[in-house]
Amino acid sequence: MTDLTALSAIELLRGYRAGDFSPVEATRAVLERADEVQRRTNAFVRIDADEALAQADASAERWRRGEPAGLIDGVPSTVKDILLQRGHPTLRGSRAIGVDGAWDEDAPAVARMREHGAVFIGKTTTPEFGWKGVTDSPLSGVTGNPYDPARTAGGSSGGSAAAVAMGAGPLTLGTDGGGSVRIPGSFCGIFALKPTYGRVPIYPASAFGTLAHVGPMTRDAADAALLMDVISGADGRDWSQLGPVAGSFQDSLDAAGGGVRGLRVAYSPSFGGQVAVDPAVASAVRGVAERLGELGAFVEEADPPIADPVEAFHVLWFSGAARVVAHFSQEQRKLLDPGLQEIVAEGERYSALDYLAAVDVRMALGKAMGAFHERYDLLLTPTMPGTAFEAGVESPAGSGHRRWTGWTPFTYPFNMTQQPAATVPCGMDGAGLPIGAQLVGARHGDALVLRAAQALYEAGIAVGVPAPVV
């Protein structure tokens, strides 16, 4: 019998269409798997079995009539508990938020998924307000890695990554303010895309401002393109959203004949020696560069014009954290993650001039990357310099890094520039932990990033990442 939890969204939809199985069967299988995933990794803050089965039943009836509601009708899906979901509290990993409230709105991406018939299995774990690159919080505890629960799933969308990796639904929504879909995507061996800022509408606006993106986390690039066709729909609540998409992201996978032939790819293994990269990671990403060349791309080792902008990022990020809790009482603040309390205190010390100086750094970096992409269509880097480390800590032991930004140098610069960036699984290290390669495109180049990632999947680059054992 087919293991329905092992199928992609596209494969599930194909099965519904053919009558091979129903959304109810798929949802029951995913709910059973979600319970196992929760026991192993603590990926969920809530699993909604009754609601999911009711949605699946309605979807099955639509499929029986030959009238699916939309592009993902009946596909089991999850949502990071940063994003609003109608009818349920969104606690954002914090004990300082009360469960009482109307909870009567969907975030834009959630609303678009609901309109297209998604079956919502539950909500996934996040560090408090998504503030760091690992997933643990005072509210929901520690989320472990599917390949080794004693190690971190990454963050801040760690619960979403673990859920997809282990078969608890092929589609999930994450948020990314400094790497938060790409870090756990890399650590958990799945695909994740941070779209161009504004391509997926956001509401409420993030306190972290225009650093924060919403994006798909999926089994592969084809599923991500499908989900992008759903969540890129307009929403008037977001004043910063981009205009309508020209065409379909799914169709873009085959644009210009598909593949990467003729694309100009800059391969930067270490940002010009600025980043110490684990040898296993370096070898795997070098293999991706070589494979892109074999597929017809023009690959050149070249480094982007990035002098580590971490201090400017900290001003923006820590100020955002201070804004998150600005209305909290002293009693509420005492409930916060101690690390979050530290960066809030730092953020409160910055002046408006400090913030504007950081914006200047951001604008200069954006200009430099714009010029870089006049020469190169894509940039290839490691997603992470290493693989998953001990769960429950902000930084790897012995790394010398106090804050999570110290070990994520390849991710947060592209939040500052608002560029699309994806992680593609490309192998395993000696401990059996996944490795990710990052593809970065010019602003508005989401379709090209997806097309190149799809070419890598079709070429078998992700074959070296076996499914974790549940």
CA–CA dist 89, 408 (Å, integer): 31
Average pLDDT across each block of 10 residues of the chain; the chain has 470 residues. List them in order.
Answer: 94 98 98 98 98 98 98 98 98 96 95 98 98 98 98 98 98 98 98 98 96 98 98 95 95 92 98 98 98 98 96 98 97 98 98 98 98 98 98 97 98 98 98 98 98 97 77
Give the model's pLDDT for residue 65. Answer: 98
- Do the domain assignments include residue 465? no
Which pTM does this prediction carry?
0.98
- Do the domain assignments include residue 131? yes
DSSP bridge pairs for 378: 265, 441
- Do the domain assignments include residue 394? yes
- Do the domain assignments include residue 469? no
Give the model's pLDDT for residue 182. Answer: 99
Burial 328-361 (b: 16+ CB within 10 A, else e): beeeeeebbbebbbebbebbeebeeeebeebbeb
315-359 per-position pLDDT tens digit: 999 999 999 999 999 999 999 999 999 999 999 999 999 999 999
CATH number for position 101? 3.90.1300.10
Domain range holding 140? 4-458
- Do the domain assignments include residue 466? no
On whether the CB atoms of residues 347 and 319 are closer than 8 A, the answer is yes
The tokens describing 290, both together, are 């070589």
1-32 per-position pLDDT tens digit: 789 999 999 999 999 999 999 999 999 999 99
- Do the domain assignments include residue 256? yes
Bridge-based pairing state of the strands 378-382 and 434-441: antiparallel
| Cβ neighbours for 242, distance < 8 A, ≥ 6 positions apart | 196, 198, 199, 444
Give the model's pLDDT for residue 255. Answer: 87
On whether the CB atoms of residues 76 and 27 are closer than 8 A, the answer is yes
DSSP letter at 412 equals: T
Mind telling me the catalytic residues?
A: 80, 156, 180
Give the model's pLDDT for residue 1. Answer: 72
- Do the domain assignments include residue 463? no
In three-state form (DSSP H/G/I as H, E/B as E, the rest C), the secondary structure along 41-93 is: HCCEEEECHHHHHHHHHHHHHHHHHCCCCCCCCCCEEEEECCCCECCECCCCC
- Do the domain assignments include residue 467? no
Give the model's pLDDT for residue 137. Answer: 98
Domain count, the chain: 1
